[in-house]
Structure 1
Amino acid sequence: MTLQEYIASIQDKTVAIVGIGVSNTPLIELLARSGVRVTACDRKSREALGDEAERLESLGVSLKLGEGYLRDLTQDIIFRTPGLRPDVPELLAAAQRGSVITSEMEVFFRVAPCTLIAVTGSDGKTTTTTIVSELLKAAGKTVHLGGNIGHPLLCEAGDMKPEDYAVLELSSFQLMTMTQSPHISVITNLAPNHLDVHKDMAEYVAAKENIFTHQSAQDIAVFNADNDITSEQAGRAVGRVRLFSRRTEPENGVFLRGDAVICREDGAEREIMKTGDILLPGVHNVENYLAAIAAVNGLVPDEAVRQVARTFKGVEHRIELVRTLRGVRYYNDSIGTSPSRTIAGLRSFPEKVILIAGGKDKGISYAPLGPELNEHVKLLILCGATARVIREAAEQAENYAGLEIVEVPDHQAAVDLAAARAVPGDVVLLSPASTAFDRFKNFMERGKVFKSIVNALQ
């Protein structure tokens, strides 16, 4: 079924789309312009939507806003936003009345004419998804990158060709109700995550498994052999299994032998590159490349893999190299919104770094960050609401030995100080260990401000 055929099949249906956000707004517009009767539902008030409310109504869209936005859903088809559990009472009641509950991603899987490659996991999925996309593009393929990475693809399916590739990042929330799996699936790793939304770890893992459980024997499933949960899942996969590993040498897959990245398939093996070819810092990014190479083996020449590894600077705001100035490398890790993420960022560099940290406090313990600061930081520059608690974490850690800590009023002052104190060979890292909401709309805006300040340095 094509996208046009799907739209034609629902012309006489009523449609509710829950969530007026990034993933659903293009769909609301497409269906409304195609003559489908659409009701857009959102918890936001009309005032909060602002001009968007009038714009959607001008397209013929009915709006259902505010706290009662899920009440009495009677439409024939209801598109669920990924963040809404499928078993909320209002959706269950609608299903009992005969409504079909679906999502933007579920319909995309039905209508996409091209090869689907999808990545999920607890950590590394955004970077791995992007690397897969970059590798395919380096091989001359036409690639459509989307999903949880922030770009919905359903509305573009009509322009895709059979020889194209759609590379998707999928969250557990998107996967919960999926009844189709991609041709190539990747699970980077699994650990407790999003348990504030999922009932328990078992439900979270079960949602992730939908990425491979509906595959056929001709499909490919890539698993992390070093992760207890994913290595167990590999034994239950229907498709052809490829493993990736830093610690072992699987029979079929991609692994490390010393500093060499080796690919082995059907008894034959070859060296693809050295870990030193990877521009992105950190052992976790080596793992991301192992996973991505396993996914595209046979589709991308090894030379193209090396080319991407040597030049790809990373996903924006995730240990992203901003620039090198007078021998000093500046990295934007604004995604570091918690102590654990900042710890991972610090461990990505062999040398001690100049760290810029601080932001909004979300009520979590900063104690685990303290020892890591003392071990990996040569100068700690703090600003924002969490400056005091981060300082205390460093000073109260057992390994505190006089780490220099300076508090400044804002990021401009932080970058100026870092630039003044850095010497050739140093790394300046923004990894706040805190959310951005004390001064910015989100971590993306914070990262962009940091980059603009760094790029303005003379």
Structure 2
Amino acid sequence: MRLQPARTEEEIRAYRASLSGRRVAVIGAGASGRACLRRLAEAGARVVLADAKPRDAMGEAVAEAEALRAAVVERFEQFDQLPDVELIVSSPGIARGHAAPVGGRAAGIEVIGTMELGYRLCPAPIIAVTGTNGKGTTCRLLSAMLAAAGRAHILAGNIGTPLAEELVHATPETPAVVEVSSFQLEGIVDFHARIATVLNVAPDHLDRHADLREYLEAKARIFANQEPGDYAIVNVDDGRVRELAESTRATRLTVADSSEGADAAVIDGEVTTALWGRREVICRADDLPLRGRHHLKNLLVAAVAARLLGVAAEAVARAARAYEPPAHHMQVVGEVSGVQYINDSKASNPAAAVADLAAMERPFVAIVGGKDKGADFAELGALLTERARAVVLIGEAAERIARALGEGARPEHAATLEQAVERAAQLAQSGDAVIMAPACSSFDMFEDYRHRGRAFGAAVRRLAEEATR
């Protein structure tokens, strides 16, 4: 099936022409901001790069901006620090309530996100994936399925490479598989996905969103501009997702754990789809490297999208069987004295941690904690109390997690991740696993979840070295 492109060539040419000569401010000197800066400069805009950091802490962004003849505003906090601008492009890390976009909107200036700018210049049909957990896995699975079928495509968005960066590879014949976060969805206006899905919704980022309702409203925006002829893939096992998808005008396709009435489900241990009036078996669930109901759901969504894009069931199955989880996601980083060490640093909210811990087949010692985002730890506490041999807590959320554990639980506390790994090693028995599933973001102790995952791996390597002395 050939999907319609996101924008026609005429629409893109007209929008590029409208940018020529306009003064446009890009807020945020990260990867997405810099990619937008380049695309705007190519279109002839007079660009300004603004960032909260001082100039000497902005790294390569300053040299890149100067090469594009862009003005640079350092220590940026207020709208009035910007020269006269006609458009503001705001990076995902800038909240809607930040003084700059608020001031811009109050002055009648259009404020859009970096994802929206990428969309407005994108000729490729967009397959957009959001959800609290599983976005990256689903996008990588779909990308692998397209690759297995020999289909050119791009993989972009929150997964690592900004959509604006990948535009150089985008054509009407190359589907764009785009991971979209709630932060990015806050900044969309016309963003239109031909295939869209919300995988699941659990409370998250409540340090950014005012409440759960605001978070849900951000996620629902992925369906807002869909129209008849588009597709919304709906996880009907998640009540919040069902509610979010009620307003879509797209054709609804359903995925479920085991319902024979769904368009994709796991039935009698077989991953199946039923899109054109007949059910076909993709593969056996037992043949897959991914474990857990949540990962099977990600696979079902990716399989439906791939089949809509014309990928043969055989290629879908081949990609699914060969899939390897990325770093920091249930990644086995070593085994020391009969104990397996698993880096699940990407599990940065309670729902993700619960799903991965529930899928554990070995007895385990869990390392949990990090920056407190205001999440509810009740379900996590119950699972750890029931399943974990021991729990070692780290970070600013440690005390709240400790209170969520059941009576009789005696969690250990560690000041650093290295100390947590050392203590977990002492508590574990041969045949066990030590899993770091933080259930929190990393910013209280680390740069990001990758930095946290690397630190865990380094601590395990030190354990291994000491064990061989």
Q: TM-score range by the shorter chain?
A: 0.7 to 0.9
Aligned to 1:188: 199
Number of positions where the alignment pairs a residue of Structure 1 with one of Structure 2: 452
Give 3-state SS (helix, strand or coil) of 2:228's partner: coil
User: Which residue of 265, 272, 284 corresponds with 1:274?
Assistant: 284
User: Which residue of 109, 114, 123 corresponds with 2:119?
Assistant: 109
How many Å separate the matches in 1 of 2:375 and 2:221? 32
Aligned to 2:433: 427
* 1:330–1:36 Cα change, 3 Å: same
Higher helix share: 2
1:221 Cα deviation after fit: 1.1
User: Which residue of 55, 61, 66 corresponds with 1:57?
Assistant: 66
Aligned to 1:134: 144
Identity of aligned residues (%): 31
How many Å separate the matches in 2 of 1:220 and 1:54? 43
Instruction: Please say if residues 345 and 450 of structure 2, whose CA atoms lie closer than 8 Å, have aligned partners that are also in contact.
Output: yes
Aligned to 1:23: 32
* 1:94–1:155 Cα change, 3 Å: same
* 1:324–1:266 Cα change, 3 Å: farther
* 1:98–1:346 Cα change, 3 Å: closer
Within the alignment, does 1:316 sit opposite 2:321 as a pair? no
Instruction: Please say if residues 334 and 447 of structure 1, whose CA atoms lie closer than 8 Å, have aligned partners that are also in contact.
Output: yes
Letter in 2 for 1:78: I
How many Å separate the matches in 1 of 2:105 and 2:41? 23
* 1:329-348 superposed matches below 5 A: 329-337=340-348, 341-348=352-359
Instruction: Please say if residues 43 and 69 of structure 1, whose CA atoms lie closer than 8 Å, have aligned partners that are also in contact.
Output: no
Give 3-state SS (helix, strand or coil) of 1:355's partner: strand
Within the alignment, does 1:215 sit opposite 2:222 as a pair? no
Within the alignment, does 1:12 sit opposite 2:21 as a pair? yes
Within the alignment, does 1:411 sit opposite 2:393 as a pair? no
Give 3-state SS (helix, strand or coil) of 2:222's partner: coil
* 1:31-110 superposed matches below 5 A: 31-32=40-41, 36-49=45-58, 52-53=61-62, 56-71=65-80, 73=82, 74-86=84-96, 90-91=100-101, 94-95=104-105, 97=107, 99-110=109-120
How many Å separate the matches in 2 of 1:384 and 1:328? 21
How many Å separate the matches in 2 of 1:404 and 1:203? 34
Instruction: Please say if residues 355 and 431 of structure 1, whose CA atoms lie closer than 8 Å, have aligned partners that are also in contact.
Output: yes
Aligned to 1:397: 406
* 1:285-300 superposed matches below 5 A: 285-298=295-308, 299-300=310-311
Instruction: Please say if residues 39 and 164 of structure 2, whose CA atoms lie closer than 8 Å, have aligned partners that are also in contact.
Output: no
Letter in 1 for 2:322: T
RMSD: 3.7
Structure 2 segments unaligned to the other structure (5+ residues)? 1-8
Aligned to 1:351: 362
For residues 131-186 of structure 1, the C-alpha deviation after alignment (integer angstroms, 9 at most, x for no partner) is 22222222212231111223212133133233212111112232233323211111
Aligned to 1:242: 253
Structure 1 segments unaligned to the other structure (5+ residues)? none
The normalised TM-score by structure 2 is 0.81
User: Which residue of 227, 237, 258 corresponds with 1:226?
Assistant: 237
How many Å separate the matches in 1 of 2:37 and 2:171? 23
* 1:387–1:254 Cα change, 3 Å: closer
* 1:440-455 superposed matches below 5 A: 440-452=446-458, 454=460
Give 3-state SS (helix, strand or coil) of 2:223's partner: coil
Give 3-state SS (helix, strand or coil) of 1:16's partner: strand
Aligned to 2:216: 205
For residues 387-416 of structure 1, the C-alpha deviation after alignment (integer angstroms, 9 at most, x for no partner) is 98599669x73354xx89696975388379
Letter in 2 for 1:264: A
For residues 37-83 of structure 1, the C-alpha deviation after alignment (integer angstroms, 9 at most, x for no partner) is 21111222335435643553354221223254422653122212224
Aligned to 2:6: none
* 1:257-268 superposed matches below 5 A: 257-268=267-278
